[in-house]
Amino acid sequence: MNDSALRFVTEQLASGHSLVEEYITETKELRSRGVPDKLFEAMEYSLCAGGKRLRPILCIAAAKKCGLPERSALPMALGLEMLHTATLIHDDLPCMDNDDMRRGKPSNHALFGETLAVLAGDALLAQALEFPMFHTEGVPAANLLKALGIFTAAVGPSGVCGGQTLDMFKDAEPGCGARRIASLKTGALIRAAVLTGAALAGAGGDIFAACDEYAVHLGAAFQIVDDILDSTSTAEELGKTPGKDVLQDKITYVSQYGVDRARVLAREESAAASAAIRDFFGNDDFLVLLPEFLVHRSN
């Protein structure tokens, strides 16, 4: 990636990050209505703990590229970040990955206790669906319904929950490999981020299919890099405990293919993602350039 493209993608990510952060702040009072203070504190702690905000940025970018104003995509984008945050809270629990650090800070259960962490994750899951359902404006009902269908499928038994099951139990599906696990645990939500944005904008036909292909390859590339970083980075670089995959004997791209082959696969998936939408969006589009950028990330 040349310097101009690198600068452009970096600026777009920063702009999208700021937009999401501002909306989180703007909607705080609305999201807290009727919620017990202690529960909202735990929810807000993890939601506001930092992170790349990649999933909401993808949703907003896809919606905008398909003709929808950014503002109309923000409730769905926030819902995606709530959902992602909930999965991280649950993923860190002692009964799952048992990690006391997330995004360079104490994980939710390490600070609030396991019971409240479970409740905070559950509450964010519910609010993630409720918020875009009731606060999206300027979108035809049919488009919103389609987006919500994509959203709910991503978290369900054939999405994140299924992926977490495969990640935790090697015998959950005979012959299951790293690609299958990644496509559900990580890929399902990244795919939903792109497709909900496109659906809100009313995209269909070849463009929607291209966005779908793009998102599948992007999700794969993202998870491959995650697996590589888990085995090669420090806690300071990752903001979480490295080496957990090896300690827990998990099926990953690194355990299945080795680091060198995994790097090749990441580049292949990145290239395939960009190729899927290049004819529709052009060589210099943010979404087209993003996969290569993400392959070279350090956290």
Distance between CA atoms of residues 140 and 16, nearest Å: 24
Please, what are the domains in the chain? 3-295 (1.10.600.10)
Q: pLDDT tens for residues 59-107?
A: 999 999 999 999 999 999 999 999 999 999 999 999 998 999 998 899 9
Average pLDDT, the chain: 93
User: What is 215-253 written as a DSSP string?
Assistant: HHHHHHHHHHHHHHHHHH--HHHHSS-TTHHHHTT---H
212: pLDDT strictly greater than 70: yes
Least confident range from 23-27, 61-65, 97-101, 262-266: namely: 97-101
**Residue range 16-32: mean pLDDT, rounded:** 97
Q: Are 121 and 89 in contact (CB under 8 A)?
A: yes
Per-residue model confidence (pLDDT) at position 175: 85
Q: Find the distance separating the first CA and the last CA of the chain, reported in whole Å.
A: 18
298: pLDDT strictly greater than 90: no
Specify the pTM. 0.94
Q: Are 235 and 101 in contact (CB under 8 A)?
A: yes
Distance between CA atoms of residues 222 and 44, nearest Å: 26
- Residue 178, both tokens: 């790293």
Give which of 198, 184, 192 is closest to 277, Cα–Cα. Answer: 198
Give which of 215, 191, 219 is closest to 276, Cα–Cα. Answer: 215
Bridge partners, 101 (sequence order): 106
Per-residue model confidence (pLDDT) at position 243: 66
Give which of 115, 109, 74, 58 is closest to 88, Cα–Cα. Answer: 109
Distance between CA atoms of residues 56 and 74, nearest Å: 8
